Amino acid sequence: MTDRIWSYSTQSGHLTGTDLTGWRVEASDGHIGKVDKHSEEAGDAYLVVDTGVWIFGKEVLIPASAVTLVDREEQVLHLALTKEQVKDAPEFFSEKHLADRQYREEIGAYYGVGGPFHGGPGII
């Protein structure tokens, strides 16, 4: 796992200090939920997305590098992920996973290099 997966891309338009809580989250093929929690800590930036009824209230942890565009006017985050990729992501439980480095490594492997997407270099 590389640390770049846990950082916002400079092209995304993310501004440090922006509270993203409650913002809409859009996958490349449609709406997936809203930001429940987020971190922008250097090398440990992520979103916790509440998918609501879309996948039965599941929360997922998404590395910041998946964010391709931060639309501050509309308060929408666009991701380089499909709805299916988010749906198939490991479920997130804050009381269990927030400080769990092994879980973070699993997430990094899922979304990044060596992940399940065509055995390629990863999606982010």
pLDDT at 91: 87
* Residue 29 included in any domain: yes
Average model confidence (pLDDT) for the chain? 84
Query: How much is the average pLDDT of 21-28?
Result: 97
**Amino acid (1-letter code) at residue 28:** S
Q: Which among 50-59, 64-73, 106-115 has the top mean pLDDT?
A: 64-73
What are the DSSP calls for 86-97, one per residue? HHTSPB--HHHH
Q: Residue 14: which CATH number?
A: 2.30.30.240
Give the E-state strand segments of 28-110 in sequence order.
Answer: 30-39, 46-50, 59-63, 67-71, 76-79
pLDDT at 124: 53
Considering the domain boundaries, does residue 25 fall inside one? yes
Give the closest residue to 83 by CA, choosing from 51, 61, 115: 51
Report helix, strand or coil for 112: coil
Q: Tell me whether residue 117 is in a domain.
A: no
Domain that holds residue 53: 3-111
Does 122 map to a domain?
no
* Residue 33 within any structural domain of the chain: yes
**Predicted pLDDT at 1:** 39
Q: What is the pLDDT of residues 68-109, one digit of tens each?
A: 999 999 999 999 999 999 988 888 888 787 778 888 888 888
The pLDDT, as a whole number, for residue 13 is: 94
Q: Which residues of 75-102 are buried (b: 16+ CB within 10 A; e: fewer)?
A: eebbbbbbbebbeebeebeeeebeeeee
| For residues 37-65, average pLDDT | 87
DSSP code of 66? G
Do 81 and 123 form a contact (C-beta atoms < 8 A)?
Answer: yes
In a domain, 116, yes or no: no
| Domain annotation covers residue 118 | no
Return the structure tokens found at 29.
């093929």
Separation between Cα atoms, residue 52 and residue 110, nearest integer Å: 22
Question: Whole-prediction pTM value?
Answer: 0.84
Provide the number of structural domains found in the chain: 1
pLDDT for res 76? 98
Q: In this structure, is residue 36 part of a structural domain?
A: yes
